[in-house]
Structure 1
Amino acid sequence: MEVAPETGQRDEVDEIVDQWRQQRPDVSPEPIGVFGRIVRLNIAQRAMLSTVHERHGLTLAAFDVLANLRRSGEPHRKTAGELAESSLLTSGGITFRLDKMEADGLIRRTRSQGDRRVVYAELTELGLAKIDAAFADHLATEERMLELLDPQERAQLVSLMRKLGASIAHSARPAEPSS
């Protein structure tokens, strides 16, 4: 199906919703209109950004860790536990990534002066330069992905996505027992 995204014409998700309406008229497939598009957009966005990250010699996971350290501010360091918490990965998953990034010279591990049991991962000069270059390219790519939306539409989309996030969180709460 030909799609003209700039005009908001029908897309493949509309076709899926129509098929479900025809095959199961007893249920409303409307949520697919939202969540089907979220899934498709996520797949497309990740594919485009993977290309950007690979151009800088990074995986998505390495980019995530380096960006996490970079946005933490000087001295650009966190413990594996702090990285895991702020990136939603396990500390074991972080440790594996840190080992590779340390071998590549992007981070170094340092021990806390106050408690030698605490080990930090911190950006090296190479890591800082790499994440700064990759992040600029990352943002430019995301900007291109949004170019058909004007500033008002972007703000509206952000607001609606924030509200959707709250709605999902609300729906995940246990239902109150009926009396």
Structure 2
Amino acid sequence: MEDDVDRLIAAWQRERPDMDVSPMHVLSRVTRLALHLDRARKQAFAAHDLEPSEFDVLSALRRSGKPYQLSPGQLVQETLVTSGTMTNRVDRLVGKGLVQRLPDPADRRGVQVRLTGPGRIAVDGALDALLSHEQQLLSGLASEDAASLADSLRALSRPFDH
């Protein structure tokens, strides 16, 4: 079964036969799939009035366990964004009533960010919608194929992990 990437690769092979375009077989598909998945995430989260970046913060808090609270520095580590970006995200979420800032009992100058009840409802609902959609996307793969793909993607992304 030929797909868009096969046609793209054939065109490059025709125009640049001197180049090895074999990495495109994998990486162009990963890139295109990432775009489709990003759109699907946005749709799943929009139903819960969340942006993907807001979901990332809320889910980091939710995964942390009770009391669903992290420092801004911990949130930066969990979401791989700058501290300035995190400040803006937390400000938006505070404005929506989904998180609150609390004094850090261990550091008078520090704060902790805590998930509120409405924040927990929003992140749980968005996660349910996301997982439902992702399960549908993977339904065409045998469980062994999905596990093998996960292993291959893990190996491919390992150099980017820190």
| TM superposition score normalised by structure 1 | 0.86
Which residue matches 1:142?
A: 134
Q: Write the distance in 2 (CA, Å) between the matches of 1:92 and 1:123.
A: 20
Query: 1:115, CA displacement in angstroms?
Result: 1.7
Moved over 2 A (4+): none
Q: Equivalent residues in 2 for 1:88-103 (5 A)?
A: 88-103=80-95
Structure 1: 5+ residue stretches without partners: 1-8, 171-179
Asked whether 1:83 is paired with 2:93, we answer: no
Give the fraction of aligned pairs with identical amino acids, expressed as a percent: 33
> Residues 67-99 of structure 1: CA distance to partner in whole angstroms, max 9, x if unpaired?
010001111111111101111001110110111
Structure 2: 5+ residue stretches without partners: none
Q: Which residue type is aligned with residue 94 of structure 1?
A: M
Which residue matches 1:3?
A: none
1:108 aligned counterpart, secondary structure: strand
Which residue matches 2:39?
A: 47
- How large is the Cα RMSD of the aligned pairs? 1.1
Which residue matches 1:24?
A: 16
Query: 1:145, CA displacement in angstroms?
Result: 1.2
Q: Write the distance in 1 (CA, Å) between the matches of 2:136 and 2:30.
A: 18
The higher-RCO structure (CA 8 Å, 6+ apart) is 2
Which residue matches 2:109?
A: 117
Q: Write the distance in 2 (CA, Å) between the matches of 1:153 and 1:114.
A: 47
> Residues 35-74 of structure 1: CA distance to partner in whole angstroms, max 9, x if unpaired?
1111100000000110110110000100110001000111
Count residues in correspondence.
160
Larger CA Rg, structure 1 vs 2: 1
| TM superposition score normalised by structure 2 | 0.95
Query: 1:112, CA displacement in angstroms?
Result: 1.5
Query: 1:154, CA displacement in angstroms?
Result: 0.4
Q: Write the distance in 2 (CA, Å) between the matches of 1:94 and 1:20.
A: 41
Which residue matches 1:129?
A: 121
